[in-house]
């Protein structure tokens, strides 16, 4: 990896997690990043807090910097500077755009239109399913799905995008070598190994510190044309991303939820504040002026169902129900009912939630509607 | 002056005859017991001396030696004390006693001469009958458990003096009337009936299948959803205990000292609920005195493990073998004891550490990682032995109040009996007794699916990504469902029903 003097200086500053605005100020004062390098440690040079100074001074030699670059090469992590033509234009326009992004995977994704799916780490089955459905729909239309590689909604979005064969970008709040949560390492490899991309503005071995994440969220929204808040509370990381998106002038969407459930608090709040409502991927595509995918409708699997099965589906269309309630409304004995529910579950028309309630899947709902 | 009486030691659940000899000689006054007495047997000397004196009989004067044969087996416990006391009295005045050679004496003595109950009386009575002993004298509290032993006259006594009166012919005791097992009402209704369990159609059905096919059951549900209540109903829908089963179970309870005073043969299947901090010897059997553990006490009944993930891992691991083989071998210095342990395992657990996951009213504050760790505490191999996993419905109080009457245990038991009868006929002459015992070849041979059922099951394997092991388990459960609904081959609806008894948590291992 060949780097110019300026780039080496920026990498050096990035290793100590100097913020973009601070770097701009320093560059102005000392005549560019390399000026900061030259002036460091001398009389009248820039002053830093003790911890930052010690990190910078450890790396303040050609030998140390060569070691750092070799390590990046060994880990197969590459660098994307702000003046690079491949740097996403959407992001570059921001005042606090990262001056350096560490990445693994393919930069081709950045050429596609991007939409962010964000939400809580503790999601419901509904949230997971909606995130998955949206991610698949967006990928089918050639849109790249951006998310934060966290548990819950993020995981569902990334996995479904991968399943649909689309491309997806994950933005980490830690160094690429220290993914958080740790169990998502295989997911990271899968994304970076395919046509996807994993990004971070933090140095290779930066630990996932709490303050990184809200800061990271501005990159998620900055990359995207729009942000979809799938599920989450009002005080959550998702709302921070939405706020960032609003200040960056991005479109904000939310998936409506059932009033009274914790996960619906955030999206419903956004909808009340004027966010756009999303019930399927086409809603997003239409609002962003991207042509809907126009995929052929799937064959109707509800054909060939018995009357009883249709009645069960109709009851479940209103709300999720337990076997007891279903049995009472249909006047059925338990074994017959459980067998019918099992059959519908195998067909993928209903699914079982925690607490043993049954819910219509989105698949069944869409087919009945069309 | 020498006298001999007959008593019995306990090895496992059965006894072995012990001859007690007393010898009185002139010399230094003393009382020695030889023949490998344990600590409790050595202490017997003081109880025997006091009991004889307080009863108004005279303790022999001179050097007293008591020998217990076989002399090379360590004698534990207090059941020999009556035999020792009678041997001493007989050594002093041999002419006063009749029929000591064919009478077995059991009982612990209190200082005032009362007879205290002993552990394992039933096993010892059976040994006595097999050895050709004609009469058995034992504490009254132990009499009822021995009333069904054939070929043995049982005389319950309350004090040493009564025994003396009986053996000397002055005041004969009344024999315990013998009872037939059928008259003990083995199918009397229990306090726990399914008609009191509101809602939970899936849970009820799972319990019925568990009873009909001998499957182990795991219930997952929020606290208060009725897991324990449902489990307690299982003994009541299992077939009534046969005489042999009742005898086996009572033997174990008697040997463990768990039977209670004045208790006849057990007619109800046992329901054991060990607490989750139970130690391994207490669960499996063993310890210094080699007693049967909870899994054996649940023999022919139900072993209920509430809060399954809270049990120690090694305790649960050790449970696998007894549940599979149906017996536990406890090896000690004195030899090997074998306790039967054919029990139905019913386990219950919360869906997450806080217990509220899936509740409609209370929020769950657990992270996915915490839930995963909680569920991961149960080992895969143990889960493999649990065919049925059911998630309880999270029902609210209003729903419970509005629901109508529920089917009673008696109605469910009738279906279970019919399903059991089908299995008995199908597995006649084979090593299986119920569907749960089927191994791989057995599943292939007996769990045949009709065309529609096979198609449905293959669809399910694709959709739920079932493992090969889960596939076999579902076929076994479907076999029982078919037996319950009277189908010869497994039909599609049996498979669909069986598929309800997987949990939603994929981490359960499919």
**DSSP letter, residue B35:** S
Examine the domain organization and report whether B479 and B383 are in the same domain: no
Is residue B179 situated within a structural domain? no
Is residue A82 situated within a structural domain? no
| Chain B residues closer than 8 Å to A343 by CB | 456, 492-493, 496
Interface of A with B in 164-223 (CB under 8 A): 181, 183
Q: How confident is the model at residue A87 (pLDDT cuts 50, 70, 90)?
A: very high
Q: What's the pLDDT tens digit per position in B83-93?
A: 999 999 999 88
Where is the domain boundary, B417, B435, B453?
B435
Rounded to an integer, the average pLDDT of A152-179 is: 93
Give the CATH number of the domain where residue B233 resides. Answer: 3.40.50.300
pLDDT score of B404: 66
Q: How confident is the model at residue A360 (pLDDT cuts 50, 70, 90)?
A: confident
Q: What are the residues facing B217 on neighbouring strands?
A: B346, B388
Rounded to an integer, the average pLDDT of B473-481 is: 93
Rounded CA separation A241/B38 (Å): 77
Q: Compare CB distances from B205 to A183, A335, A347 and report the shortest one's residue.
A: A335
- SS3 letters for B244-272? HHHHHHHHHHHHCCCCCCCCCCCCCCCEE
Contacts of B420 (CB under 8 A, 6+ apart): B212, B239, B434
Give yes or no for a contact between B150 and B118, defined as CB atoms under 8 angstroms apart: no
**DSSP letter, residue B200:** -
Is residue A296 situated within a structural domain? no
Give yes or no for a contact between B102 and B44, defined as CB atoms under 8 angstroms apart: no
Number of domains in chain B: 3
Rounded to an integer, the average pLDDT of B124-129 is: 94
Q: Which residue has the higher pLDDT, A73 or A296?
A: A73
Of chain B, the percentage scoring pLDDT greater than 90 comes to 52
Is residue A86 situated within a structural domain? no
The pTM (predicted TM-score) of the whole model is 0.76
Q: Which of A147, A123, A145, A148 is nearest to A134 (CA)?
A: A145
- SS3 letters for B53-109? HHCCCCCCCCEEEEEEECCCCCECCCCCHHHHHHHHHHHHCHHHCCCHHHEEECCEE
> How is residue B114 written in tokens?
């009362």
Q: Compare CB distances from A345 to B368, B484, B499 and report the shortest one's residue.
A: B499
pLDDT score of A109: 87
Task: Name the strands in the sheet holding B388-391, side by side, starting at the edge strand that comes first in the sequence.
Answer: B271-272, B302-305, B344-349, B217-220, B388-391
Examine the domain organization and report whether B150 and B228 are in the same domain: no
Domain that holds residue A250: 107-287
Q: Look at B393 and A357 and tell me if their CB atoms are within 8 Å.
A: yes
Which residues of B285-326 form beta strands (DSSP E)? 285-286, 291-292, 302-305
Is residue A293 situated within a structural domain? no
Q: Which of A339, A150, A87 is nearest to B460 (CA)?
A: A339
Rounded CA separation A250/A88 (Å): 15
Examine the domain organization and report whether A21 and A158 are in the same domain: no
Where is the domain boundary, A74, A99, A118?
A74
Where is the domain boundary, B413, B435, B457?
B435
Contacts of A169 (CB under 8 A, 6+ apart): A109, A110, A114, A144, A145, A146, A147, A196, A197, A198, A199, A223
pLDDT score of B508: 36
Give the CATH number of the domain where residue B510 resides. Answer: 1.10.8
Is the peptide bond preceding residue B70 cis, with omega within 30 degrees of 0? yes
Contacts of B144 (CB under 8 A, 6+ apart): B176, B262, B263, B264
Q: Compare CB distances from B496 to A181, A339, A355 and report the shortest one's residue.
A: A339
Rounded CA separation A23/A9 (Å): 10
Where is the domain boundary, B391, B409, B435?
B435
Candidate from A43-47, A172-176, B38-42, B394-398 with smallest mean pLDDT: B394-398
Q: Compare CB distances from A356 to B393, B403, B459 and report the shortest one's residue.
A: B393
Rounded CA separation A299/A55 (Å): 60
Examine the domain organization and report whether B240 and B363 are in the same domain: yes
Examine the domain organization and report whether A232 and A274 are in the same domain: yes
pLDDT score of B509: 33
Is residue A175 situated within a structural domain? yes
Rounded to an integer, the average pLDDT of B214-221 is: 92
Candidate from A169-178, A266-275, B204-213, B287-296 with smallest mean pLDDT: B287-296
Q: What are the residues facing A119 on neighbouring strands?
A: A231
Answer yes or no: is pLDDT of B356 > 90: no
Dihedral of the alpha carbons of B336, B340, B341, B342, in degrees to the nearest 10: 150
Examine the domain organization and report whether B410 and B457 are in the same domain: no
Contacts of A136 (CB under 8 A, 6+ apart): A160, A161, A163, A164, A166, A281
Q: Does A122 touch chain B (CB under 8 A)?
A: yes
Give the CATH number of the domain where residue B15 resides. Answer: 3.30.230.10
Q: What's the pLDDT tens digit per position in A245-301?
A: 999 989 999 999 988 888 899 999 999 998 999 998 888 998 888 866 444 445 555
Of chain A, the percentage scoring pLDDT greater than 70 comes to 94
Is residue B329 situated within a structural domain? yes
Rounded CA separation B256/B290 (Å): 9
Examine the domain organization and report whether B234 and B249 are in the same domain: yes
Examine the domain organization and report whether A147 and A260 are in the same domain: yes
Examine the domain organization and report whether B426 and B287 are in the same domain: yes
Q: How confident is the model at residue B507 (pLDDT cuts 50, 70, 90)?
A: very low
Q: Look at A342 and B495 and tell me if their CB atoms are within 8 Å.
A: yes
Domain that holds residue B31: 2-167
Give yes or no for a contact between A217 and A211, defined as CB atoms under 8 angstroms apart: no
Answer yes or no: is pLDDT of B238 > 60: yes
Q: Does A261 touch chain B (CB under 8 A)?
A: no
* Residue B503 main-chain phi, psi, to 5 deg: -95, 160
Q: What's the pLDDT tens digit per position in A191-240?
A: 998 889 999 999 999 999 999 999 999 999 999 999 999 999 998 888 99
Q: Does A262 touch chain B (CB under 8 A)?
A: yes
Which residues of B246-340 form beta strands (DSSP E)? 271-272, 285-286, 291-292, 302-305, 327-332, 335-340
Rounded CA separation B307/B374 (Å): 11
DSSP H or E run through B372: helix B368-376
Examine the domain organization and report whether A149 and A238 are in the same domain: yes
Rounded CA separation A107/B277 (Å): 56
Examine the domain organization and report whether B429 and B459 are in the same domain: no
Q: Compare CB distances from B201 to A324, A342, A347 and report the shortest one's residue.
A: A324
* CA contacts within 13 A on the Cβ side of B25: 6
Rounded CA separation A239/A233 (Å): 8
Is residue B292 situated within a structural domain? yes
Handedness of CA A187, A189, A195, A200 (dihedral sign): positive
Rounded CA separation A75/A60 (Å): 22
Residue of A nearest to B482 (CA): A335
Q: How many CB atoms lie within 10 A of CB B295?
A: 27
pLDDT score of A118: 95
Interface test with A, best of B497, B498, B505, B508 (most A CBs within 10 A): B497
Examine the domain organization and report whether A192 and A331 are in the same domain: no
Is the peptide bond preceding residue A98 cis, with omega within 30 degrees of 0? no
Examine the domain organization and report whether B429 and B311 are in the same domain: yes
* Alpha-carbon distance A76 to nearest alpha carbon in chain B (angstroms): 29
Is residue A162 situated within a structural domain? yes
Map tokens 């279903």 to a residue.
A326
Rounded CA separation B55/B113 (Å): 6
Of chain B, the percentage scoring pLDDT greater than 70 comes to 96
Examine the domain organization and report whether A268 and A154 are in the same domain: yes
pLDDT score of B180: 84
Is residue B87 situated within a structural domain? yes
* CA contacts within 13 A on the Cβ side of B309: 18
Q: How confident is the model at residue B260 (pLDDT cuts 50, 70, 90)?
A: confident
Where is the domain boundary, A257, A287, A317?
A287
Examine the domain organization and report whether B68 and B140 are in the same domain: yes
Q: Which of B483, B499, B494 is nearest to B452 (CA)?
A: B494
Q: Look at A323 and B201 and tell me if their CB atoms are within 8 Å.
A: yes
Give the CATH number of the domain where residue A203 resides. Answer: 3.40.50.450
Is residue B29 situated within a structural domain? yes
DSSP helix/strand/coil, A234: coil
Q: Compare CB distances from B485 to A325, A335, A346 and report the shortest one's residue.
A: A335
Examine the domain organization and report whether A345 and A255 are in the same domain: no
Per-residue CA distances from A297 to A68, A301, A333, A365 (Å): 52, 11, 36, 13
Average pLDDT score over chain B: 88
* CA contacts within 13 A on the Cβ side of B217: 32
Q: How confident is the model at residue B140 (pLDDT cuts 50, 70, 90)?
A: very high
Is residue A211 situated within a structural domain? yes
Q: Look at B394 and A355 and tell me if their CB atoms are within 8 Å.
A: yes
Rounded CA separation B241/B250 (Å): 11
Q: What are the residues facing B20 on neighbouring strands?
A: B5, B68
Q: How confident is the model at residue B3 (pLDDT cuts 50, 70, 90)?
A: very high
Give the CATH number of the domain where residue A350 resides. Answer: 1.10.10.10
Where is the domain boundary, A30, A58, A74?
A74
Examine the domain organization and report whether A126 and A200 are in the same domain: yes
Q: How confident is the model at residue A367 (pLDDT cuts 50, 70, 90)?
A: very low
* Alpha-carbon distance A72 to nearest alpha carbon in chain B (angstroms): 31
Examine the domain organization and report whether B276 and B405 are in the same domain: yes
* Alpha-carbon distance A119 to nearest alpha carbon in chain B (angstroms): 15
* Residue A93 main-chain phi, psi, to 5 deg: -70, -20
pLDDT score of A363: 62
* Residue A306 main-chain phi, psi, to 5 deg: -75, 165
Is residue A55 situated within a structural domain? yes
Examine the domain organization and report whether A264 and A331 are in the same domain: no
Answer yes or no: is pLDDT of A365 > 80: no
Rounded to an integer, the average pLDDT of B37-65 is: 93
Q: What's the pLDDT tens digit per position in A101-115?
A: 999 999 988 888 999
Examine the domain organization and report whether A144 and A264 are in the same domain: yes
Is residue B407 situated within a structural domain? yes
Per-residue CA distances from A20 to A16, A88, A99, A367, B309 (Å): 12, 16, 6, 49, 50
Examine the domain organization and report whether B335 and B427 are in the same domain: yes
Q: How many CB atoms lie within 10 A of CB B474?
A: 25
Handedness of CA A78, A82, A84, A87 (dihedral sign): positive
Examine the domain organization and report whether A208 and A129 are in the same domain: yes
Examine the domain organization and report whether B468 and B494 are in the same domain: yes
Examine the domain organization and report whether A48 and A119 are in the same domain: no
Q: What's the pLDDT tens digit per position in B317-332?
A: 889 888 888 889 888 7
């Amino acid at each position: 990896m060949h780097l110019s003097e300026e780039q080496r200086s920026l990498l050096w500053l990035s290793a100590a997690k100097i913020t973009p605005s601070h770097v701009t100020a320093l560059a102005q004062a000392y005549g560019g990043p390399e000026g900061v390098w030259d002036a460091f440690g001398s009389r009248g040079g820039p002053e830093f807090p003790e911890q930052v100074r010690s990190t910078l001074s450890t790396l303040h030699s050609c030998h140390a910097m060569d070691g750092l670059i070799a390590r990046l090469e060994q880990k197969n992590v590459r660098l994307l500077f702000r003046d690079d033509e491949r740097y996403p234009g959407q992001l570059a326009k921001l005042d606090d755009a990262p001056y350096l992004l560490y990445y693994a995977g393919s930069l081709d994704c950045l050429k596609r239109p991007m939409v962010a799916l964000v939400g809580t780490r503790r999601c419901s089955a509904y949230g997971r399913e909606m995130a998955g459905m949206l991610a698949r729909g967006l990928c089918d239309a050639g849109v790249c799905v951006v998310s934060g590689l966290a548990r819950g909604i993020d995981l569902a979005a990334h996995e479904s995008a991968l399943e649909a064969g689309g491309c997806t970008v994950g933005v980490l709040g830690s160094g690429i070598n220290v993914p958080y949560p740790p169990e998502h390492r295989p997911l990271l490899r899968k994304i970076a190994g395919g046509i996807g991309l994993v990004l971070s503005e933090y140095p290779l071995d930066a630990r996932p510190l709490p303050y990184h994440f809200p800061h990271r969220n501005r990159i998620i929204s900055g990359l995207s044309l729009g942000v979809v808040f799938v599920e989450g509370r009002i005080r959550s990381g998702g709302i921070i991303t939405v706020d960032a998106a609003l200040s960056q002038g991005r479109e904000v969407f939310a998936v409506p939820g059932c009033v009274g459930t914790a996960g619906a608090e955030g999206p419903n709040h956004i909808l009340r504040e004027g966010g756009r409502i999303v019930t399927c991927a086409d809603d997003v595509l239409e609002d962003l002026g991207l042509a809907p995918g126009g995929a052929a409708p799937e064959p109707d699997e509800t054909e060939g169902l018995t009357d009883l099965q249709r009645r069960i589906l109709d009851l479940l269309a209103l709300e999720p129900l337990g076997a007891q309630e279903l049995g009472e409304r249909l006047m059925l004995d338990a074994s017959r009912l459980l067998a019918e529910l099992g059959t519908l579950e195998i067909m993928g028309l209903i699914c079982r939630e925690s607490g043993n309630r049954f819910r219509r899947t989105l698949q069944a709902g869409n087919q009945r509607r069309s | 002056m020498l006298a001999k009486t007959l008593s019995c030691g306990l090895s496992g659940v059965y006894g072995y005859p012990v001859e007690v000899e007393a010898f009185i000689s002139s010399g230094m006054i003393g009382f020695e017991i030889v023949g490998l007495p344990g600590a409790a047997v050595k202490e017997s000397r003081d109880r025997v001396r006091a009991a004889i004196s307080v009863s108004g009989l005279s303790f022999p004067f001179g050097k007293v030696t008591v020998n217990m044969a076989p002399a090379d087996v360590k004698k534990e416990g207090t059941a020999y004390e009556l035999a020792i006391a009678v041997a001493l009295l007989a050594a002093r005045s041999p002419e006063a006693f009749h029929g000591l050679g064919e009478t077995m004496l059991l009982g612990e003595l209190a200082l005032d001469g009362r007879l205290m109950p002993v552990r394992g009386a039933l096993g010892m009575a059976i040994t006595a009958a097999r050895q050709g002993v004609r009469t058995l004298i034992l504490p009254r509290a132990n009499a009822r458990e021995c009333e069904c032993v054939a070929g043995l006259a049982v005389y319950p006594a309350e004090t040493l003096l009564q025994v003396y009166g009986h053996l000397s012919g002055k005041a004969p005791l009344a024999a315990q009337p013998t009872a037939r097992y059928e008259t003990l009402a083995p199918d009397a209704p229990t306090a726990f009936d399914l008609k009191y369990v509101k809602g939970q159609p899936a849970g009820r059905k799972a319990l019925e299948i568990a009873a009909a096919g001998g499957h182990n059951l795991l219930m997952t549900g929020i606290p208060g959803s009725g897991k324990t209540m449902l489990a307690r109903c299982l003994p009541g829908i299992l077939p009534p205990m046969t005489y042999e089963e009742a005898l086996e179970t009572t033997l174990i309870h008697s040997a463990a000292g768990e039977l209670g005073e004045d208790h006849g043969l057990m007619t109800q299947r046992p329901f054991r609920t060990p607490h989750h901090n139970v130690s391994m010897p207490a669960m499996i059997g063993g310890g210094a005195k080699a007693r049967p553990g909870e899994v054996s006490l649940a023999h022919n009944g139900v072993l209920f493990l509430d809060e399954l993930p809270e049990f120690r891992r090694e305790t649960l691991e050790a449970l696998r073998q007894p549940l599979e083989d149906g017996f536990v071998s406890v090896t000690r210095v004195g030899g090997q004891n074998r306790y039967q342990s054919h029990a139905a395992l019913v386990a219950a657990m919360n869906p997450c550490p806080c217990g509220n996951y899936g509740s409609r009213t209370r929020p769950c504050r657990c992270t996915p990682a915490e839930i995963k760790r909680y569920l991961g505490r149960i080992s895969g191999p143990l889960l493999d032995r649990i065919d049925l996993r059911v998630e309880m419905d999270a029902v609210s109080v209003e729903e419970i109040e509005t629901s109508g009457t529920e089917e009673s245990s008696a109605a469910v038991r009738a279906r279970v009996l019919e399903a059991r009868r089908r299995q008995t006929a199908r597995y006649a002459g084979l090593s299986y007794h119920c569907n749960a015992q089927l191994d791989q070849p057995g599943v292939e041979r007996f769990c045949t699916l009709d065309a529609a059922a096979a198609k449905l099951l293959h669809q399910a394997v694709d959709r739920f990504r079932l493992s090969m092991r889960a596939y076999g388990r579902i076929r076994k459960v479907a076999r029982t469902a078919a037996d319950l609904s009277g189908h010869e081959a497994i039909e599609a609806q049996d498979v669909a029903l069986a598929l309800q008894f997987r949990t939603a948590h994929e981490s359960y291992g499919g």
